[in-house]
Structure 1
Amino acid sequence: MINGENPAERERVVADLDQLPGGSDFNRPNVARMYDYYLGGKNHFPADRAAADKVIELSKGHVREAVLENRAFLARAVRHLARERGIRRFLDLGAGLPTQGNVHEIALETAPDALVAYVDNDRVVASHGRALLAGDPRVRFLEADLRRPADIVALVEREAFPLDRPVGVLMVACLHFVPDEEDPAGIVARYRDLLPPGSHIVISHVSSDPVPGAMAAAGGVYNHANAPFEARRREEIARFFEGLDMVEPGLVPLNEWRPDPDAPPLRGAFLPVLGGVGVCS
């Protein structure tokens, strides 16, 4: 059972999921629940924990530092967009399970008039997200596939907010679950072309450069999950930002993107996750 904060609510969510077409396969590792486990959350099952523990072993424990740095990067990027760039509409693609430090919490704390739409194509994630986020008209959780930009833009305009002003689009730790044959760079480019000028695209992505062997082994673990995993070289990740104006300091390890003054040093020698923010012209 999903271990949420409200026992009655989580039981209702799981019961609802069992009524979905085809039921719910909780015996197969799920990348959103594995991520929640890395973060120390409570929304996971034995299959998720077993797969995540293999990745933790392969990474010598550094995957947990990487996901924490990813959440910290997400928070800094959202605050920067809300405070410095005047962004009031946020679209979080491949959002995963709601956890601490969510986009809407950060955005609304900075700008109470912000609107946030989460998007995920996992029906388990979407059902759980809708249940946890119900009640705030400024927040929506939509079930859709980030690989279909035109469909998502239409859905957001219909269900969440009109795209008549710049939007902050977050593709944080999701593109490494889109294989090369599905053209992730082309997907980003289509969002770039569909978004209003002045929109910002935030991307973080696992890099294979420092430890290619370990990354390949981690990919083997994820082959048994609900989505494949593909770490990429820096030059491949840089392609996602083509046609965008990069916000300083550009594409860098996450801990180097506008770090907080009191940020603790890395426990490991390096962080194999790159991130950056680009602006649509």
Structure 2
Amino acid sequence: MTEQAPGGLDVTRPNVARMYDYYLGGKNHFPPDRAAAERIIELSRGHVREAVRENRAFLGRAVRYLAAECGIRGFLDLGAGLPTQGNVHEIALEEAPDAFVTYVDNDAVVAAHGRALLEGDPRVRFLQGDLRRPEEIVTAASATGLDLDRPVAVLLVSCLHFVPDEEGPESVVAAYRDLLPPGSHVVISHVCSDLVPEEMARAGDVYGNANAPFEARPGAQIARFFDGFDLVEPGLVPLNEWRPGDGALPPRGGFLPVLGGVARRP
């Protein structure tokens, strides 16, 4: 029998959102989350923490680029996870006070936590929903205030590697593409297995005990998520190479096995 805390919070099984929070140095995690995260840290020789920091930095640069340079005012952040520092709405609203951000996560506790933290700001919403159901998500987001008469940005940052091949992640991305107006953008980051396939397979075994599977993919497969979009410069690259700021340092391990890109729907 699964032990649950008040409100239906399962504290006995590792949760990918809470593991991510642990990597970032947050406080929203429990012993099983920490144990699984420490195993991933061991397998990666500590580089997973660098990867998640680079992921947050990439997200921030992408949002800033879209708001400041592309005129995007609507942001749909899928698989958003627990609110942490450098959230999408903080960055978007800094660049464009008229921006509107809708967060989506399938975890009821994460969604409730997000709504509580964001309560009172009419420019931000947090929905519970499954990113694998694009029509439902887009309809619900539109009902909360996301303006689909103008180009928007869909953020699929560090979440597609938790959607297994048999659930059709490429079709999911294509469905979002077809539901959005021309000029919309997609932002994707995804763990890549090309350089460290054995380590990624072992990481998948650890996540097999968590609330979502983990599936690192070859770069060629990740590139297919952008079919039907026009990649903006510099294309699909390691996260630290996507429009880095001045003084950016190379990864400690010599490479970063996470790819990211931003693309526009024609």
Structure 2: runs of 5+ lacking an equivalent = none
Residue identity matched to 1:53: E
Structure 1: runs of 5+ lacking an equivalent = 1-14
Which whole-Å CA distance do the structure 2 matches of 1:155 and 1:141 have between them?
11
2:165 aligned partner:
180
Tell me by how many angstroms 1:105 deviates: 0.5
Aligned partner of 2:6 among 10, 18, 24:
18
CA displacement, residues 238-267 of structure 1 (integer Å, 9 cap, x when unaligned) = 010001011011000000000101222221
Aligned partner of 2:85 among 76, 93, 100:
100
Tell me by how many angstroms 1:268 deviates: 1.2
2:213 aligned partner:
228
Which whole-Å CA distance do the structure 2 matches of 1:92 and 1:202 have between them?
9
Aligned partner of 1:206 among 191, 195, 200:
191
2:96 aligned partner:
111
Q: Normalising by structure 1, what TM-score?
A: 0.92
Which whole-Å CA distance do the structure 1 matches of 2:250 and 2:146 have between them?
39
Aligned partner of 1:153 among 128, 131, 138:
138
Residue identity matched to 1:114: A
Which whole-Å CA distance do the structure 1 matches of 2:186 and 2:192 have between them?
18
Aligned partner of 2:14 among 7, 19, 29:
29
Which whole-Å CA distance do the structure 2 matches of 1:67 and 1:198 have between them?
29
Matched, 1:189 2:174: yes
Secondary structure of 2:131's aligned partner: coil
1:11 aligned partner:
none
CA displacement, residues 123-158 of structure 1 (integer Å, 9 cap, x when unaligned) = 111111111111111000000000000000100111
Which whole-Å CA distance do the structure 2 matches of 1:57 and 1:155 have between them?
40
Matched, 1:58 2:69: no
Matched, 1:242 2:227: yes
Which whole-Å CA distance do the structure 1 matches of 2:258 and 2:241 have between them?
11
1:7 aligned partner:
none
Secondary structure of 1:141's aligned partner: strand
Residue identity matched to 1:231: A
Matched, 1:77 2:65: no
1:266 aligned partner:
251
Aligned partner of 2:122 among 129, 137, 140:
137
Which whole-Å CA distance do the structure 1 matches of 2:63 and 2:49 have between them?
21
Q: Normalising by structure 2, what TM-score?
A: 0.97
Matched, 1:40 2:25: yes
Which whole-Å CA distance do the structure 2 matches of 1:78 and 1:189 have between them?
21
Tell me by how many angstroms 1:202 deviates: 0.2
Matched, 1:278 2:258: no
Secondary structure of 1:164's aligned partner: coil
Secondary structure of 2:252's aligned partner: coil
Which whole-Å CA distance do the structure 1 matches of 2:93 and 2:9 have between them?
33
Tell me by how many angstroms 1:18 deviates: 2.2
Secondary structure of 2:76's aligned partner: strand
Aligned length: 263
Please give the root-mean-square deviation of Cα atoms over the aligned residues, in Å. 1.1
Which whole-Å CA distance do the structure 2 matches of 1:132 and 1:27 have between them?
25
User: What percentage of aligned pairs have identical amino acids?
Assistant: 73
Which 4+ residue blocks in structure 1 deviate beyond 6 angstroms?
none
Residue identity matched to 1:274: L
